[in-house]
Amino acid sequence: MRVLVAPDKFKGSLTAVEVAGAIARALAAHGHEAVPCPIADGGDGTVDAAVAAGFTRHALTAAGPTGEPVATSWARDGDTAVVELADVCGLVRLPRGVLEPYRSSTLGLGEVLRAVIGAGVGRVVLGIGGSASTDGGAGLAQALGAVLRDADGRALPAGVGGGRLPEVVTVDRPPVPAAGLEVACDVDNPLLGPYGAAAVYGPQKGAGPDDVAALDAALARWAGVVGEDLAEVPGAGAAGGAGFGLMTLFGARLRPGFDLVAELLGFDERLAGADLVVTGEGRLDAQTLRGKGPAGVAARARAAGVPVLAVAGRVDLTADELAGAGIVGHAALADLEPDLARSQANAAELVTRSVDQLLRATR
């Protein structure tokens, strides 16, 4: 059989490229042809997926979420660039993993975008999953030329996090880049309120109840300064309000994450002629069904009449729920190794064994 291998990452253990390699080893043992297509949905691993699809990686140093320099990269193919928030100023870049809900900023993302725009590309695809900040995109705006001023007209220092947004009284707006910005975004939260950026995502960034209220008020102040028109647009609350900032200040367009990445990777072209698809991610759960990569893979494969198998570290969905998503068979690493630490340490071997068992069971 010709098998399209399209997994996402297993967070904490394997990149999508490594998962694809482990799946391919099982397929080879059964005499099948593996067609690798590691995927992402706009979060960490988006640039890696683009590189695996043939994009060229460009390395640079930019500010991490709390200002420390980090080595990161973006990818380019012709006139199109791929940029990933998570790898420069996301949660995975916090020093020692210490959460900083007030200080964390998107400044580094703006620095990467500045380099990309300076390289003369015409289209920028930006994945904004995995954010560490709740700054409404203020930091990235500063890196791209915005000047944030306080009540005395003084410019605030670069890297304004959510905690300093209440100080912003006026903004010297940045120039809108000639390159079109398309944002891979899989959430539909507005900027403010009980379903907004601070309330829904603040806690995972270290914000307690009082912090959430303070950050929501800070974002409201920011929106009042730069323009509230797009605050209720679905996705405005993505990445701590970076979705709002990108739309309001730079005219960015938000698009479903997996669909946008799949287009870049040429997923449908790779799917053509496949007899089977194998996908997966660290955990198959309710979030998977809300537009995550494996669900997107399964939906496209089902439309093409191609069966889908899935492997995951853990599966929290029922067989009926998976079948409803288009996944006809599944396996969990936890069934082979219940201990999480050992499972993560031996994830590649366990993926290969799990896919081997799946193939034997579905002959």
Distances in Å between the Cα of 276 and the Cα atoms of 2, 32, 37 are 7, 10, 13
pLDDT at 257: 87
Amino acid identity, residue 73?
Answer: S
Q: Where are the domains of the chain?
A: 2-37+270-361, 46-257
Q: Which helix (H) or strand (E) holds 73?
A: strand 69-77
If pLDDT is split at 50, 70 and 90, which confidence band does 94 have? Answer: very high
pLDDT at 363: 72
Instruction: Tell me the CATH number for domain 2-37+270-361.
Output: 3.40.50.10350
Alpha-carbon distance of 362 to 277, in angstroms, equals 13
If pLDDT is split at 50, 70 and 90, which confidence band does 361 have? Answer: confident
Closest CA to 40 of 85, 72, 103, 78: 85
Give the distance between the most distant pair of CA atoms in the chain.
73
Alpha-carbon distance of 263 to 267, in angstroms, equals 6
Give the domain 46-257 fold: Glycerate kinase, domain 2 (3.90.1510)
Contact at 8 Å (CB) between 22 and 252? no
The model's pLDDT over 42-93, given as tens digits with 9 standing for 90+, comes to 888 999 999 999 999 999 999 999 999 999 999 999 999 999 999 999 999 9
Half-sphere exposure of 38 (CA within 13 A, CB side): 25
Closest CA to 242 of 9, 86, 114, 100: 86
Distances in Å between the Cα of 77 and the Cα atoms of 51, 52, 125, 265, 271 are 9, 12, 11, 11, 21
Closest CA to 132 of 176, 85, 82: 85
The model's pLDDT over 156-207, given as tens digits with 9 standing for 90+, comes to 999 999 999 999 999 999 999 889 999 998 888 999 999 999 999 999 999 9
Instruction: Please give the model's pTM, rounded to 2 decimal places.
Output: 0.91
